[in-house]
Chain A
């Protein structure tokens, strides 16, 4: 029961994007389509899960003073694994996500969870936390990507349902800010009503 709560908190209540405002650069940068958002989310989930597992395993061996640099090296190693794997098997997605793959290293969400959760908790809870937060992040990115894709090009997951172009502004950079702003407004409104 406790683990379940730990797992689901990342979806709405402590959603990294909508509630904690972490990891905003990739959130805005790659969500031109739902697929891109999902790919980025899953890549981040993998890094988050693995980093949380490793950090929680070795937390007792790391001197407190070099904690943060050690975490960064662990995260950077997993990011490099994702980078090389994606380049080999998913070259198209790698091309679109581009710069944002190496930038998972400086995603405050990953370091934040390692520091705030995995360095204080046992292996299982840390893994569950990493997976839950990662999937919450994926959910947020896919949602934002879908909204932008529907409004901007009249398609979803690449399936076109409107003839011609959509509102191009949502594919361009201003649309990213505006779409995310309104999504947060809607979530604020809904969650306040529920409370």
Chain B
């Protein structure tokens, strides 16, 4: 039951992109086409889950016992940067086809604040190991859902006749606002 609440809350009610404003850069940057949006979502799902697992272990078995919690930001970002490199190398060797699909998105993920944000949030909410992993997976699904929905909308926008100064990014923001408004309908479910 606890897990279901975490999942629904992370995907719909507190959607990481539309409600918490994390990962806006890829949300605007790679959402122009449906295919790239799906690739990015896959890569985020992969990295976010592993990153949250590893940072959870570091937080609870290294930083807290040694009383060096203030090192959290530096450690986490280095761990994530290393992890992204590692995932890239392993993926290249183990599954070239998956690497082909996700490859170009992996370096971008280091500076995706959603990954660092979820790792820190899992710590702040005092989740245990299993809950942290579920939290990370649910959040990356939420990220993917927002990204894929939004890229569908943007593909339609291409065909629309938009007034001059609004073309491109501004209209994308306004449409994102409308999407966020739609997601507000989920508020109060949990």
CB atoms of B81 and A72 under 8 A apart? yes
The bracket for how many chain A residues form the interface is 35 or more
A80 touching B177 in the complex, CB below 8 Å, given contacts A105-B116, A173-B19, A189-B165: no
Interface flag for A127 (CB, 8 Å): no
| Interchain nearest-CB distance for A190 vs B (Å) | 9
From A2-10, A21-29, A56-64, A117-125, the one touching the partner chain is A21-29
Cα distance, A174 to B15, chains bound together (Å): 12
Residues of A close to B164: CB separation below 8 A = 192
Closest B-chain residue to A190, C-beta based? B165
Query: With contacts defined as CB atoms under 8 Å apart, how many contacts are there between chain A and chain B in the complex?
Result: 119
From B46-54, B70-78, B94-102, B134-142, the one touching the partner chain is B70-78
- Write the A151-185 contact mask toward B (1 if CB under 8 angstroms, else 0): 00000000000000000010011111110111011
The bracket for how many chain B residues form the interface is 35 or more
From B1-9, B152-160, B178-186, the one touching the partner chain is B178-186
CB atoms of A106 and B177 under 8 A apart? no
Interface flag for B28 (CB, 8 Å): yes
CB atoms of A69 and B78 under 8 A apart? yes
A106 touching B111 in the complex, CB below 8 Å, given contacts A72-B81, A73-B74, A80-B70: yes
A-B contact pairs, 21 of them (CB 8 A): A21-B28, A22-B25, A29-B21, A68-B81, A72-B78, A80-B71, A84-B70, A103-B120, A106-B116, A107-B113, A108-B25, A173-B18, A173-B180, A173-B184, A174-B180, A175-B177, A181-B170, A181-B171, A181-B172, A184-B170, A188-B166
B interface residue numbers (CB < 8 A to A)? 18-25, 28, 70-74, 76-78, 81, 110-113, 116-117, 120-121, 124, 164-166, 169-174, 176-178, 180-181, 184
